[in-house]
Structure 1
């Protein structure tokens, strides 16, 4: 049996108890039933409870003519409740799935607006959770996807909370009718070309007629699967701890894992650990594209395999796998002359270089490896640069980016490589910071 609408306020506050001391509670307010009830509940509770400051945000996607009137409706509701409303207009990128594109645009706006210790609240409910589980099941999702929507997750600098996931849509309708609330009915919600609408209007009613507790049971299954995913995450952390070993190229600032500890695991544990490691870095590949990992893992020792993913590339070199994205995937610009007494030299798409100690004399320039370079070492004579890089197991993706210091045609130093990075007897070494701190990178 569902709980009565009168229980909603206490259940809502119980679910929000851990965030009672947040700086700000912002309600994602579409104007529909779910967010209207959530907004009304919170405003009502704020009259008798000590809650963080409340406000609302409405995202205007501009996808249909009817939506142009919704900001005005939302403003009217918020004005009546004494709540500030922020309207954000977003541009939805054309994609195969309009639903996904709209969601991406919406959450990008939410993320940008959610500051440290802020909470964004959405009105997702138990029926939404059941639809999510069924939708993802039909798409062949794994345990992670079938866990449905989490009740909380990081968003921007703050947290996204879904406090109504244990509440049915029928309960929300009962509350809205009891309090004579007005809400928007989105015409697109009746368009069955959208998969979720088809499930909501065609499939879920049939399931409910045969199994009245279907939605509650499906939401409960999603909770079990989230728990299972939690256990898989714990296993992944155990496996990753073995692969996150120290190495002499940590100064690159590139995420990497030692390959050998991963390679001895079962294929399923490899995918589990690697998926956990990659999740904050890129959209994960579907099952059919994990063969790229097998190819990278099994390539011969002298190969330089690459696995291209949605937001970057995984490279294998020097016994490790390396995650490259951003500037690492762009060839660095041309080198530059070094005008003394400049303390540091910024490089196009390649961080900056500086001298530790005094500056060497003479007209200096920074360039990149072209092939055939030779370096004179006091104790070894002239040596081919390629051989010197091989001896130090410098990964292939680094070699074309290593700043080389020349005086005329003489190669004086290779940044950051001990023994090659300067002239100790002259009191200087060449240091390279691969990422530019001015771009917000460490």
Structure 2
């Protein structure tokens, strides 16, 4: 039986959070959670509660639903944030709406905050069955996690131990008003059909099925935790750590170390690594393709596209990049040594005073990009081609076309500030300029967020 006091026990992990955010659709489940939190606040010292309603605009009554949520929150003196979203085209409506909701949640959650979602036991069972019939891996069989990280905070599902019928019985006792979304009975949606057609038949034929499946999810979750522990140990061995500011934004794995692992550990490590970077996990075919490319010839540059990102083998590493890759730049004039945003979305050049740095002098300055055959004279060294410098520094092939080159009166004087021409620099006791290249945020996996977990 559901009670606010029982809910309080489930909320124990987040009692010290700065804010509790409640995902409020206005349906039975979230309204029960809203009311239970309201009652608990009257007798317990709890974090401040704020609610979030995502307006998808998919139903003619969507405005009325938002107004209902506003009215219910106002009556309980709980602030409500109503955010309208536009769904991406191409994906299923269910998937697009879910992705939009999580984008909203992540935009609001602050450091240490908790997002509370009202998923219940029936939702968990439906999730398991849906993943089974659709096809899933080990992590999918563990169901929706009770809690996980979300943006700068955490997500918690405190109602997974109660059935919907228990929540409904309590909501009726409390005289709650809630919204009935017609989509929840529209069997054109796969999950709705599973809920109203398949699930009742399974319960009738195998009454113990529900407990068996949920127990399986617990066992699988435990096994997944063990696999994650092993993957974390392997990642510490193969993850490339870059002091090089050019390469640090892009995660990579050392191929030589990775190839020392068994195929099963390689597969487990790759899934774990991609999950840490919020990436959609590859299917079986894509995963096999990536693993087959690991021992390829050193001059091979295979690429595997998966969702919004790509895995690219280059310079002895496996790199994680956005699907579009790194933007190639376009020529532009440079009027002065000031922070300069590069055209074609290629990031920014940052200029800072530094003894012995690049000197500004009168002339025609421009920013350009590699065409082939460029050479530069470094301090105490003979002229070198950019190809030689890139090879010596292990700059991967995919990054080279994006590196900004500085020219003065047609002569190459700096390669993105990393290599400066000897006669273009100030003396060690004279002030010049340090130049650094900041790649565009959309090119870097850590800034984009390529996929989301349950």
Query: Which residue among 252, 260, 277 is the counterpart of 2:273?
Result: 277
Query: Which residue among 405, 426, 435 is the counterpart of 2:439?
Result: 435
Cα separation, partners in 2 of 1:420 and 1:234, compared to 1, 3 Å: farther
The Cα shift of 1:416 comes to 5.2
Residues in 1 aligned to 2:278 and 2:31: alpha-carbon distance in whole angstroms = 35
Secondary structure in 1 matching 2:7: helix
Query: Which residue among 88, 96, 115 is the counterpart of 2:110?
Result: 115
After TM superposition, the structure 1 stretch with the greater mean CA deviation from structure 2, 27-36 or 86-95, is 86-95
Structure 2 matches for 1:30-429, cutoff 5 A?
30-246=25-241, 249=244, 251-253=246-248, 254-279=250-275, 280-325=277-322, 329-337=326-334, 339=336, 342=337, 344-348=339-343, 349-354=346-351, 356-357=354-355, 358-360=357-359, 361-363=361-363, 364-376=365-377, 381-415=382-416, 417=418, 426-427=427-428
After TM superposition, the structure 1 stretch with the greater mean CA deviation from structure 2, 193-202 or 205-214, is 205-214
Cα separation, partners in 2 of 1:334 and 1:326, compared to 1, 3 Å: farther
Cα separation, partners in 2 of 1:429 and 1:92, compared to 1, 3 Å: closer
Residues in 2 aligned to 1:382 and 1:431: alpha-carbon distance in whole angstroms = 21
Secondary structure in 2 matching 1:324: strand
CA contact (8 A) 1:256 1:322 kept: yes
After TM superposition, the structure 1 stretch with the greater mean CA deviation from structure 2, 92-101 or 226-235, is 92-101
Residues in 2 aligned to 1:336 and 1:230: alpha-carbon distance in whole angstroms = 54
Residues in 2 aligned to 1:343 and 1:237: alpha-carbon distance in whole angstroms = 42
The equivalent of 1:28 in structure 2 is 23
The equivalent of 2:452 in structure 1 is none
Residues in 2 aligned to 1:55 and 1:288: alpha-carbon distance in whole angstroms = 43
Once the two structures are superposed, residues 388-427 of structure 1 have per-residue CA deviations (whole angstroms, 9 ceiling, x without a partner) of 3333332212322333333334333434556878767844
**TM-score normalised per structure 1:** 0.88
The Cα shift of 1:371 comes to 0.7
Q: More relative contact order in 1 or in 2 (CA 8 Å, sep 6+)?
A: 2
Number of positions where the alignment pairs a residue of Structure 1 with one of Structure 2:
435
CA contact (8 A) 1:29 1:36 kept: yes
Secondary structure in 1 matching 2:329: coil
Residues in 2 aligned to 1:381 and 1:21: alpha-carbon distance in whole angstroms = 62
Secondary structure in 2 matching 1:65: coil
Residues in 1 aligned to 2:443 and 2:92: alpha-carbon distance in whole angstroms = 32
Cα separation, partners in 2 of 1:72 and 1:412, compared to 1, 3 Å: closer
Secondary structure in 2 matching 1:405: strand
Cα separation, partners in 2 of 1:90 and 1:385, compared to 1, 3 Å: closer
Q: 5+ unaligned residues in a row in structure 1: which ranges? A: none
**TM-score normalised per structure 2:** 0.86
Secondary structure in 2 matching 1:400: helix
Residues in 2 aligned to 1:178 and 1:425: alpha-carbon distance in whole angstroms = 80
CA contact (8 A) 2:367 2:404 kept: yes
Aligned-residue RMSD, C-alpha: 3.0
Cα separation, partners in 2 of 1:84 and 1:92, compared to 1, 3 Å: same
Residues in 2 aligned to 1:419 and 1:80: alpha-carbon distance in whole angstroms = 66
Cα separation, partners in 2 of 1:313 and 1:47, compared to 1, 3 Å: same
Cα separation, partners in 2 of 1:90 and 1:346, compared to 1, 3 Å: closer
After TM superposition, the structure 1 stretch with the greater mean CA deviation from structure 2, 13-22 or 316-325, is 316-325
The Cα shift of 1:434 comes to 3.1
Residues in 1 aligned to 2:423 and 2:245: alpha-carbon distance in whole angstroms = 20
Q: 5+ unaligned residues in a row in structure 2: which ranges? A: 448-454
Cα separation, partners in 2 of 1:138 and 1:380, compared to 1, 3 Å: same
